[in-house]
Amino acid sequence: MVKLDIDQVRKFITDSSHTSKIYIGCDSERFKLKGIWHADYCVAVVIHLNGKHGCKVFGGVTRMQDYDVKPGRPAIRLMNEVYKVQEVYEQLRDVIGTRHCEVHLDINPEDRHGSSCVVNQAIGYIRGTCNMDPQVKPNAFAASVCADRLKELLAA
């Protein structure tokens, strides 16, 4: 597993301009290990330099046992993604300051998708703990694109 170096992220944000934008997202993947279900969680912090130039991406992967009974309705795993994003946001809140910041959740609000089972709970949790409205699919690129791709790169 690759640990997110939160001190390195904090320093990079501190050294960036106040027009830089920060996006925090998480994605997970469920798999069986020795007959027991687990999930790898990849948290991505994207810092969009000056809000108009390239970006710097930081990430880390952690592994936890997955207790979801219904794989098509992964409520526990998805809420763990939400908790991980919120935890990183809390660790960065003071250095983010007045910079634009978004929390991205890899959740599809459409009922035909399994992730919709936690959409209201997840949005409410982020609103209550981070005091912001999170982005969900299709607007949650830090989770659904960046963290998803980063997970593959860090696992390699």
89-99 pLDDT, tens digit per residue, is: 999 999 999 99
Residue 120 lies in a domain: yes
In whole angstroms, what is the distance from residue 136 CA to residue 25 CA? 10
Give the number of other CB atoms < 10 A from CB of residue 130.
Answer: 18
Closest C-alpha to 143, from 121, 122, 124:
122
Residue 1 lies in a domain: no
Domain of residue 104, residue span: 6-155
pTM: 0.95
Give the domain CATH number at 90. Answer: 3.30.420
pLDDT for the residue numbered 115: 80
Residue 128: HSE in the Cβ half-sphere, 13 Å Cα cutoff: 8
pLDDT for the residue numbered 142: 97
Residue 123 lies in a domain: yes
- Is it the case that residue 11 has pLDDT exceeding 70? yes
Domains of the chain: total: 1
Residue 66 lies in a domain: yes
Residue 82 lies in a domain: yes
Residue 125 lies in a domain: yes
pLDDT tens per residue, range 42-101: 999 999 999 898 999 999 999 999 998 887 789 999 999 999 999 999 999 999 999 999
Residue 140 lies in a domain: yes
